[in-house]
Structure 1
């Protein structure tokens, strides 16, 4: 059995791992790699022939794990893609959105003399997404699925996102049974809506993410306490507005449910809440469709109080005219909109009209990469450039990591420590910046585990 890490090696994005037995090749995840200047060209060049891959396993829907699947299909992959049912639905939504982003970037590129775009061609089009979706085969959590006579797969819930799973393989070679697990992205306990990560069965090898290696979640408050305090400061004590940039899939649903609980308990007056993201509306419908997989608390809330994603003072905004009309709403309100890093989407409209408003608070609930508009605001830039205008920043800027869907350093260490040292032969660290990997590696070695920070393109023989 051989393992080659082809993506998310000593970086976060582009998860792609190749597992090979004597006569079968399995690709675990096929994500977009955002971290190179020539990322379109880089993502189009696979280090293997897509037609030689027998099967793909998808751990969850996020684009850094799923976003290059249509390219794989376009270039010759003809097999099935195994995932959970929520992952299939959310991935379709996110891949179609990726097509829109590709085409938008191409339209914004200046055209050449003959009217043809000089920008990069889209990695794939809608037809390639639909061809990819046709290959999805969904399997349930915690039920072994026989791939062939020698290989079986079990999906274990890991939180992080609805449908997210660790992939656990049992492989028999030459009469010897081996087990190997791919963690996917590991969530955190007590996250709104999502189930807690479940422990994995004992395995021989573990490929583990390391996103939050060396970092601990800072806040000692609960999500409800943080939101109640922030809304009270921004909208009650002073009659202003609270703008929350949030990813449409996952974060928005967690936010809406948390606000619903707060209003239901009477902790705040029923301030108007706008969810201004059509994609968030579609994603919320998927959460409703797979309601049996949300956590127990959310299910009990549904039984006692009704739909956790719907309440009296909540409006889901669809068309652009309704979105623009929010600017003329002069009562205190909460606006949830995407994208989370402020790099495009309807959030830029709300930012444009409110960044110089002393009575506006902007609450960041996710990571903002360097170079993004969100990062510039978080580092305290007094002026930003938006729509070719320089705008003074008078709004209050706040940030919390309470809505991060990743387990922190302690969670990652505890996830590995569920494995007995005498059974686990090696841990391979992926999906993290190098300093995060090194920190997690040091902690695991101190716990007497054999650990390796995986290198891209190196093939490891798993005896």
Structure 2
């Protein structure tokens, strides 16, 4: 059995792992790589023949895990894609959104060029997404699925996102049984709406994400207290507006549920809340559809109080006209919009009209990659450029990591500690920046685990 890490090797994005055994090739995840060059250069070609892949297994819907599946299909893969039900539905809307992003970048970059000049082509189109979705086969958690006579698959809840799974493969190779686990992205305990990550069974080999290796989440306050503090200061004591950039899928739904709880408990007087993201609206419907996958806390709230994602003074904006109308709303309010790093979407309208508003607070609740508009605000740039204008930053900029969807260093350590150090043959660390990988590796080695940080394309015999 041979393992090759073809993506998220010594970086975060582009998860793609190839497992080869007795002429049967399994690809675990097929994500977009955003970290070097343009998306065409990094993702257009695969380092293997897609027609030789027999099966794809998808851990969860985020685009750095699912986003290059249509390219794989377009280049000849004709097998199944196995995942959970929520992952299939969320992946569909994310892939269609990716097509829109590709086309938007193409149009923006080449607007004004002479006719006949071809621009960079999208990785895939809507027809390729539809072809991809036809390949999906959904499997529930803890349901043993026999891939063939020698390979069995089980999905274990990973938290992180609705339907996200760790992959457990039980393989009988040449009369020898081996068990290998791919964690996918590991979530946090007690995260709003989502289940806690389940313990993993004993395995021989573990491929583990490392996003927060060496880093701990804040623990000096609760999420409820932080939100109450910011809302009270911005919208109650002062006649201001609170703008929260949030990823449409996962982060927005958890934030809405938490706000529902806060206002339902009467911790704050009513404040108008606007959710301004078409993609978030679609995703919320998927959360409702797959309600059996949400946390017990969310289920209990539903039975006692009603829909977690619907309450008085909450408005989902549907059209661009409705979105623009919020700019003329004069009373204090909360605006939740995407994209979370401010690199596109309707959030840019709200930033443009409010960045010079002394009574506005922009609360970041997620990671902002270096160089993004969100990153520039967080590092304290006094002037930003948006829509060909230089704008002074008068709004208050603040952040919290209490809604981060990734488990921190201690959570990752606990995942590995579930394994017997004497029986776990090797831990492979992926999906992390160099500093996180090194810190995580050092901590595991101190406890006696055999650890490897794979380079891209290096194969390991298991």
Q: TM-score, normalised by structure 1?
A: 0.99
Uncovered stretches (5+) of structure 1, i.e. residues with no partner? none
Distance 2:210 2:171 in 1: 25
1:411 has 2:411 as partner: yes
Instruction: Give, in angstroms, the shift of residue 350 of structure 1.
Output: 0.4
Distance 1:119 1:218 in 2: 45
2:276 counterpart residue number: 276
Q: How does 1:311-460 map to 2 (within 5 A)?
A: 311-460=311-460
Distance 1:21 1:112 in 2: 52
2:75 counterpart residue number: 75
1:162 counterpart residue number: 162
1:251 counterpart residue number: 251
Instruction: Give, in angstroms, the shift of residue 324 of structure 1.
Output: 0.4
Distance 1:72 1:400 in 2: 37
Instruction: Give, in angstroms, the shift of residue 110 of structure 1.
Output: 2.5
SS of structure 2 residue aligned to 1:37 = coil
Instruction: Give, in angstroms, the shift of residue 21 of structure 1.
Output: 0.6
Q: CA RMSD in A?
A: 0.9
SS of structure 1 residue aligned to 2:110 = coil
1:61 counterpart residue number: 61
1:18 has 2:18 as partner: yes
1:174 counterpart residue number: 174
Q: Which moved more, 1:34-43 or 1:360-369?
A: 34-43
Q: TM-score, normalised by structure 2?
A: 0.99
Q: How does 1:46-125 map to 2 (within 5 A)?
A: 46-110=46-110, 114-125=114-125
1:186 counterpart residue number: 186
1:222 counterpart residue number: 222
Distance 1:454 1:402 in 2: 30
Pairs aligned (count): 462
SS of structure 2 residue aligned to 1:171 = strand
SS of structure 2 residue aligned to 1:287 = helix
1:309 counterpart residue number: 309
Q: Is the 8 A contact 1:160 1:186 kept in 2?
A: yes
SS of structure 2 residue aligned to 1:242 = strand
Q: Which moved more, 1:215-224 or 1:445-454?
A: 215-224
Instruction: Give, in angstroms, the shift of residue 41 of structure 1.
Output: 2.1
SS of structure 2 residue aligned to 1:456 = coil
Distance 2:422 2:41 in 1: 44
CA deviations over 1:137-173 (Å, ceiling 9, x no partner): 0000011100000000000001000000000000001
1:5 has 2:5 as partner: yes
Distance 1:424 1:36 in 2: 34
Uncovered stretches (5+) of structure 2, i.e. residues with no partner? none
Distance 1:448 1:369 in 2: 34
1:148 has 2:148 as partner: yes
Distance 1:177 1:125 in 2: 42
1:264 counterpart residue number: 264
Deviant stretches of 4+, over 3 Å: 111-114
Distance 1:221 1:295 in 2: 22
Instruction: Give, in angstroms, the shift of residue 238 of structure 1.
Output: 0.6
Distance 1:179 1:117 in 2: 53
Instruction: Give, in angstroms, the shift of residue 114 of structure 1.
Output: 4.7
Instruction: Give, in angstroms, the shift of residue 111 of structure 1.
Output: 5.3
Instruction: Give, in angstroms, the shift of residue 434 of structure 1.
Output: 1.1
Instruction: Give, in angstroms, the shift of residue 112 of structure 1.
Output: 7.8
